[in-house]
Chains A and B, each alone.
Chain A
């Protein structure tokens, strides 16, 4: 892929290149054409759709990548000056992942996507007034009073699917998600197996699931909107609260993006420390994911074992970072404090312990015929479907999609460690289960190599008291515990970002659930949810 081929492919686009990143600007009416040409050209992975309010115009940025050449990043941009009824063509038939992304953009910017059959709001209530991420949004609480009445959940079952394909370009009740005759069961928002406040409406035929409709937004905090009023160091403390199980990794991503913008030289020691902490977080997160999946399958003992061993990592975190879950460790330019004296010793004690425990896990659960029987042949996700749905992380790798950002674009100290990207080919539930335990093994290898070689030096670079990011766009992707976590910052040279967007790896995972769940049983729904291991605050942001 180079500039010339792209230009000949898309003669109507303005293209600029920056290393492996291409910025394409196309007029709104050519958007679908450009998207389908790019899709045909191998850009089969739509990692996010970013809505933008440029002030006078509204825009959409499609983040594309290719599974064949994952290093190449492509930003397909388009704008419209119509702020009353902005409309673009939907790309949902090209990339399956576009479904939820377009709904999110619609929710926050009021941009409609023609041909998308499901244009409900994603996070906010259906009757919400205004589009919060627009710059002219009126946050007056009188417009959207907090409803204190008792609302019937059953009403939501027949929520209209809004369709904008009629002549007047107006929202109109077109159809409902579920028929009146269907047996619809609510899983969530309060349910022991949804791992948070996710609301799944499931249409059942006896035990067999026919259709599933996820409903987000119960823990939506508007972190992206809040961040627009926060300085960069202040934004950092919110990132821990996105995917709270890989908080340090999210924070690392934002730090890297800001450092990239400031062109700051980060000491090598800080890189090493950050990498070690990231890997510890990954182990902790996978342990919890493993435990939760086992608990979803009814083995509560396995969950307690997972939590017990995760506690060892939490202790290291408490000693190093000062917090257990909200580690708050990376800062712009390095880390907050130097590592404590017995940091290395503790990790070295942890590595053999964890290896021994992994063996026990395999004996307790992996080999168990009941567990194997339940995971056997359930929840098949093909490689193509995984890419189309944008299921990054362990889920994608279990389907054989090599998507480890640590390998694609080694950041921090990952280039210095030798490790294997765990890939499996079957894409079944068992692969998604076992891949987490295998990744723990690989993470232990990284830890083993890095802990002894932490270079001497400063743990953080000096920063100015007020950090102002030069005008431009900054992007960073890292490998979170659940998949690719991306940060997109649009700065106008202020100390606040003009727009910040976090790519949530968990959101696509719920879409995966929607895709693989029909035809399975109720018990499988819970197990599949556990095998995908999504975290709700990451989705809702």
Chain B
């Protein structure tokens, strides 16, 4: 099985022997930063294209077909356009906060992105409390959204931001609780450890019923966290035109746009890591199948699972109407939260007695 650990270890070795500890670390940090930034941007472009294409197919359309073969370069062209666009300055807006907001949103999403284990050794931040880190840093984005809504000095953005605040903070709970179910099962919070533990079976199979419930709840809550699909109240284009980022233009809007898509990817990646075994291949009781599965590189496994989760999210998004704000909160506080609390208990019993 080929792991990126070989490559990264070799780079590390090479730098350390040639430059000494301090310089090697510095260069590694810079390299990692660049790699993450590049991957972030490229993945976002791919996701935007994929969303447009998938959405079109669900709607009996073809989607982008003009720029490049199958419209592949469409999002690149869009990116160029958005970079060239004028950034409109608003009267009576709190300009400092207005500019800060878009950065906050994208920084929160970038930091979360760094903690995702793509492969053994391809993992920028591997804390021993990685799950906590993920939950903590990903909820920073709501500050950016609230700031954006407030500083724009517009009523639409204000309503959008307030909705968003209520929504994100509520759904954070279910999100956290369902991830905790996995933590109970695995006994560790380190993401790399969690993945390694799934070598002999993904947690969704190992954890039985409580893990499946946790997985579904995580998908729903995570979907709500990304402000998409039936939970896109903060944007709600038919009600609030574009919600909290109505007044943004050019690359500032681009940041929100990018963060939205990358959050979708991050949620899907965490779901894949925690429940579907991350980069671990599918291991079954049959040896022959296992060796066959091992031939597929782990990175492919990881992205395959993640994109499967992304596809689920898109499918849901393009099938259902939007919830109203009170229904949204009712769903969280009256249905998802009680179920996840019970589920944690259930999982604890499962771990104790099975």
Contact = CB atoms under 8 A, between A and B. Distances in A.
**In the complex, A touching B (Cβ < 8 A):** yes
Interface of A: 183, 185, 191-193, 204, 207, 294-302, 304-305, 308, 364-365, 368, 370-371, 373-374, 521-526
- Pick from B156, B240, B321, B323 the residue with the most CB of A within 10 Å: B321
A373 B327 contact: yes
B318 A301 contact: yes
B239 interface: yes
21 contacts: A192-B241, A193-B239, A207-B159, A207-B326, A294-B321, A296-B238, A297-B238, A297-B322, A301-B58, A304-B60, A368-B320, A370-B321, A374-B324, A521-B325, A521-B326, A523-B233, A523-B239, A523-B324, A524-B324, A526-B238, A526-B239
In the A-B complex, list the 9 residue pairs whose CB atoms are closest, starting with the nearest.
A298-B322, A299-B321, A297-B321, A304-B59, A193-B238, A298-B321, A523-B324, A185-B155, A371-B321
Nearest to B322: A298
Nearest to A523: B324
Nearest to A206: B162
Contacts of B327: 370, 373-374
Q: Among A204, A207, A365, A521, which residue has the most Cβ atoms of chain B within 10 A?
A: A207
A371 B321 CA distance: 6
A46 B230 CA distance: 41
Interface in B252-276: none
B59 A305 contact: yes
Given A365-B321, A374-B321, A298 B238 contact: yes
Contacts of B325: 207, 521, 523
Nearest to B61: A304
A511 B335 CA distance: 38
A34 to B, nearest CB: 45
A535 B159 CA distance: 27
Interface string B221-257: 0000000001011001111110000000000000000
Given A308-B60, A521-B324, A522-B159, 16 more contacts: A204-B159, A207-B163, A295-B238, A297-B321, A298-B232, A299-B322, A304-B59, A305-B59, A365-B321, A368-B321, A374-B321, A374-B324, A521-B326, A523-B239, A524-B324, A525-B239
B155 A298 contact: no
B311 to A, nearest CB: 15
Contacts of A299: 319-322
Nearest to A520: B324
Interface in B303-354: 318-327
B12 to A, nearest CB: 48
A467 B148 CA distance: 63
Contacts of A308: 60
A370 B238 contact: no
A191 B320 CA distance: 22
Nearest to A194: B238
Contacts of A525: 239
Interface of B: 58-61, 155-156, 159, 163, 230, 232-233, 236-241, 318-327
The secondary structure that dominates the A interface is helix
Nearest to B159: A522
A371 B238 CA distance: 15
A364 B60 contact: no
A468 B119 CA distance: 85
Contact of B156 (A185, A298, A305, A523): A185
A183 B324 contact: no
A521 B323 CA distance: 12
Contacts of B236: 298, 523
Contacts of B159: 185, 204, 207, 522
A526 to B, nearest CB: 5
Contacts of A192: 237-238, 241
Nearest to B237: A192
Contacts of B240: 522
B59 A300 contact: yes
Given A300-B59, A301-B318, A304-B59, A374 B323 contact: yes
B241 A191 contact: yes
Contacts of B233: 523
Contacts of A374: 321, 323-324, 327
A65 to B, nearest CB: 36
Nearest to A297: B321
Contacts of B58: 301
A300 to B, nearest CB: 7
A265 B277 CA distance: 79
Contacts of A300: 59, 318
B130 to A, nearest CB: 34
Nearest to B60: A308
A305 to B, nearest CB: 7
B330 to A, nearest CB: 9
B59 A301 contact: yes
A360 to B, nearest CB: 11
Nearest to A296: B238
Contacts of B322: 297-299, 370, 523
Contacts of B239: 193, 522-523, 525-526
Contacts of B319: 299, 301, 364
A525 B327 CA distance: 16
A162 B241 CA distance: 33
A374 B236 CA distance: 15
Contacts of A305: 59-60
Given A192-B237, A365-B321, A298 B230 contact: yes
Contacts of B237: 192
A298 B318 CA distance: 9
Q: Max chain A CB contacts within 10 Å: which of B58, B230, B239?
A: B239
B320 A370 contact: yes
B249 to A, nearest CB: 16
- Which of A374, A522, A523, A525 has the most CB atoms of chain B within a 10 A radius of its CB? A523
A58 to B, nearest CB: 42
Nearest to B229: A298
A301 B61 CA distance: 10
A301 B60 CA distance: 9
A391 to B, nearest CB: 23
Contacts of A296: 238
With most chain A CB atoms within 10 A of its CB, the pick from B60, B238, B323, B326 is: B238
A524 B239 CA distance: 9
Nearest to A303: B59
A204 B321 CA distance: 23
Contact of A370 (B59, B155, B230, B326): B230
B158 to A, nearest CB: 9
B183 to A, nearest CB: 31
A204 B163 CA distance: 14
Contacts of A207: 159, 163, 325-326
A383 B284 CA distance: 64
A526 B241 CA distance: 12
Contact of B155 (A183, A301, A371): A183
A302 B155 CA distance: 29
| Residue with the highest number of chain A CB atoms closer than 10 Å, among B159, B237, B322 | B322
Nearest to B324: A523
Choose among B155, B230, B324, B327 the residue with the greatest number of A CB atoms under 10 Å from its CB: B324
Nearest to B156: A185
B93 to A, nearest CB: 16
- Interface centre among A183, A191, A296, A297, by most chain B C-beta atoms within 10 angstroms, is A297
